[in-house]
Amino acid sequence: MNQARPAAPLAFRTHWLALAPARAADDLEHAVEDAFAGEATAFMAFLLANGLGPLWHQALHSRQWQGRVPPEAQETLNLSRFAAAALYLLQSAELRRIDHLFAAQGIAYAAIKGAHVRELAYDDPSLRPADDVDIIVSAGQRVAAARALVGAGFHYHPAPDNISHEASFVKGRVTIDLHWNTFRPGRSRVDVTDALVARRVRVAGFWGLSDTDAVFLMLTHPAFFKYVCSPNMALCRVADFMFWTRRRAVDWAGLAALLRDTGLNSAAWTVSSWFALLGAAVPADFLAQISPGKARVRYLRYWLERDLPTQWFKRRPLLIQLGFTLFLHDRPADAGRAVCGWLRAYRRRRDDPFAALAAP
């Protein structure tokens, strides 16, 4: 397949530099020179905010390039690497305990997003920080799963805005985000949760998504929950895609079929196009297959290339939702269903199925 890899717009120059360790070695050498020629403190803050500190630490040490960055930057990268490794060990241990616990109680689950992807996409999974561990179960098993987590020492943290599709459980430094829908209900044409769980595969001592389902989530979840390229979208998720597509065989035709069935072609096209702007290898024929119409392509590219989600993230978030994310649905009926789903979830935000589990 031909690969679509346009140059990054000026708005994403820092993003491009930050993702250098996920691209070719010569990219990293140039990035080190450019990134630390200016304000090193600001660049380091950007790396840490985007979950890329450990990856940079590993890339510099593997090439013995530590001396090419300021001592303060070296120390910051060292600390980020140790912190990521420590949290990874805690999260991995808890995930394996949950695996045994759920198996004993007949609860089918799959790890999703960072905690799953890092085990298959990275040489060392601890290089990919994850603030929490995301797992998905069918809606019919959500209460049983929540009770099992509380019985294992986790504390339920109510969040009414998200109770339509996910809930958080905390034990010390480990947070488990329990999902029973990949999106807020109504966001996709069909609820694929049960299908995702049915296609799960065994990964490193726990259950994870199939390869195609993992990429499906990479290309759709950030569209609505992270506004594609806003500050909410940590660049470690872009690195996930870069590493995954190099190490794993992607069924692009099967992925396109899943996107078509869920009405999320436009969302995946937008996220894929942004990944490509940052140097990810996205097949051109896949992009063409899931592309929206010409007018919407121009409109969505305008948002991307000017990084409007970042510009309006704090000042006008409602404008992003109305002027951007609604256009990430394939048809007007899909956008209308998403709005109805949001309204329904808002009205039912106090209908908490786990209310009895909340701490007094």
Give the per-residue pLDDT at 3.
47
Give which of 181, 176, 206 is closest to 193, Cα–Cα.
Answer: 181
Q: pLDDT-derived band of residue 315, with 50, 70 and 90 as boundaries?
A: confident
Q: Which residues pair with 3 in a beta bridge?
A: 283
Q: Are 98 and 115 in contact (CB under 8 A)?
A: no
Q: How many CB atoms lie within 10 A of CB 72?
A: 11
Q: Rounded to 5 degrees, what are φ and ψ at 286?
A: -65, -45
What is the token pair recorded at 115? 């905690």
Give the per-residue pLDDT at 316.
83
d(CA 186, CA 342): 8
What is the token pair recorded at 78? 């060292």
**What average pLDDT does the structure give for the chain?**
93
Q: Is residue 2 predicted with pLDDT exceeding 70?
A: no
d(CA 260, CA 263): 5
Give the per-residue pLDDT at 4.
43
Q: pTM to 2 decimals?
A: 0.94
What is each CA distance from 328 to 9, 219, 230, 321, in whole angstroms?
21, 12, 15, 10
Query: pLDDT tens digit string along 29-62?
Result: 888 888 887 778 899 999 999 999 999 999 999 8
Give which of 356, 346, 332 is closest to 184, Cα–Cα.
Answer: 346
d(CA 37, CA 32): 8
What is the token pair recorded at 246? 């190099």
SS3 126: helix
* CA 198 and chain centroid, separation: 21
Q: Is residue 12 predicted with pLDDT exceeding 60?
A: yes
Worst-scoring range by mean pLDDT, 32-41, 88-97, 196-205? 32-41
